Amino acid sequence: MNFPGVLAYVLAFLMVNSNVAVAQTFPQLAEQKLHEFSSVEAPSDSETVFELNVEFPATLGPKPFYPWEAIDFTEDPEEYMNAVKAYILADTDLVNRDFAVADSKRWFHAPWLRREPVHGLTLERRSRVGELWPGQPDRIQNWAVSFYNDRGAYTVGQVWEDPAAPNTEAARFPIGALGFKLLFTEATDEQVPYLSGSKTWEAYIDQTSGQNTEMRLLQFDIAVRDSRADALTGWVFGTFMYFDKTHQETDFSWDNVIPVTLAWGSDPDLLQLNYNAGATPQESWTNDEIGNLFAEVIRTKENGFDSPHLGLFGRANGPVDNPRSSCVACHGRAIDLGEARSDEYWKEVLPFAPSVGASDFEIQWFFRNLSPDEPFLHEAVSLDYSLQLQVGVRRFRNWQDSLTSLGAFISYNAAVPKGDELQEYLDRVNQVEPFIPERGGAVE
């Protein structure tokens, strides 16, 4: 079936009801959807309302010299991370506008993500009981917003150059591409004491209440396309976290957002046997202070945890991430299957982490070091470690498939629905689709 032709026929012919004024072709609908991000409005008392920036650069200029390029991330990972952080925060316009980038030429968002409407946050993996601090309640919600620099955004724009037909073969990020993510949690500083004094945002995460929820900055993640990592993955991933060791701070300072982990590979040969014999990750770094805090205070056997580490066998990961995975491996799963598939299919072929009691083969397979153009599944297209692209393209294909199904129904049924019924169907598709988790585990 020629989908665009069917849809053009459906929308042009059926929108005859006087309440539906405009007929749209599929490319027009796709262009409109590229700029949408939420099906609900922000509460009226919100101090800000999110604006999406998908006006991507049309050309890729010469790569400037970045300060982190003078630092060997394998020898001085903490200095490397701090150089990236300083570069981002040196953009005073970005910081003074509290990371609102609607008209920025330096920072951009990814399209096709379902966001809350105040800050554009997307739902992340929930924190299970005690994962962040002993006694912390179960299913704590975590939400995040991500940004690409101009070099990263150029590639995102190439993928979405035709909003009606994403070109996922174009998902090859240039050297110097940089992404960063601000991750906020609904946990209070009483539930997680080291969050005392952290940066707060109001976000509309509970849309049944009609009110915003106070969120606290927990993680600050970075992803850098660095040629010195080409022998393994081509990428360097880092996680900072807000950490007030005194549990008494009242004012936010970026100085308390400290490096936690940095990784440039997945250590595929770090298996249960050599881990038991004392082997440690060789392709990542973890801050001893934070690693010891989680191992000795938070994720202890007495608190009900099987592993004291942030990632499997000590691999680099963040406090919110799936502890059976790692940051690099999780992002290495970013692929496009070229068509819509069911949630059940995705869960079967693209696990968030190795299963409990996994064999050495399964662990090695999951933690492969993949080059930027090497897909996690051989029949797929690599999205070069961009889970934002994966989620967006997956949502697009689900939406396209839902309209295809509607077009087929209309084409073969004499009882043609009126325009208002079609609009009701489209609204239902937009509003009730489930969130697609981006990070390391199902959101529930």
Which residue range(s) make up the domain with 110?
A: 23-432
The domain tally of the chain equals 1
User: Do residues 144 and 184 lie in contact, with contact meaning Cβ atoms separated by under 8 Å?
Assistant: yes
On whether residue 387 sits in a domain, the answer given is yes
d(CA 213, CA 205): 7
Task: Give percent above pLDDT 70 in the chain.
Answer: 86
The helix or strand, by DSSP H or E, that contains position 217, with its residue range, turns out to be: strand 213-225
Q: C-alpha angle 383/226/388, rounded to 5°?
A: 30
pLDDT tens figures, 362-417: 999 999 999 999 999 999 999 999 999 999 999 999 999 988 766 655 554 545 45
Residue 8 domain flag = no
Express each pLDDT in 176-233 by its tens digit.
Answer: 999 999 999 999 999 999 999 999 999 999 988 999 999 999 999 999 999 999 999 9
Is 339 among the domain residues? yes
Residues 9-13: what's their mean pLDDT? 44
Say if 93 falls within a structural domain. yes
- Residue 443 forms part of a structural domain: no
- DSSP secondary structure, 229-272, as one string: GTTTTSEEEEEEEE--TTS---S--GGGEEEEEEES---TT--H
For the residues 243-267, what does the mean pLDDT come to?
98
For the segment 267-289, the average pLDDT, to the nearest whole number, is: 97
* Per-residue pLDDT at 3 exceeds 50: no
Q: Is residue 442 part of a domain?
A: no
* CA atoms of 443 and 352, how far apart (whole Å): 11
Asked, for residue 17, whether it belongs to a domain, the answer is: no
Residue with more model confidence, 132 or 442: 132
In whole angstroms, give the CA distance from residue 392 to residue 401.
Answer: 14
Q: Has residue 324 been placed in a domain? A: yes
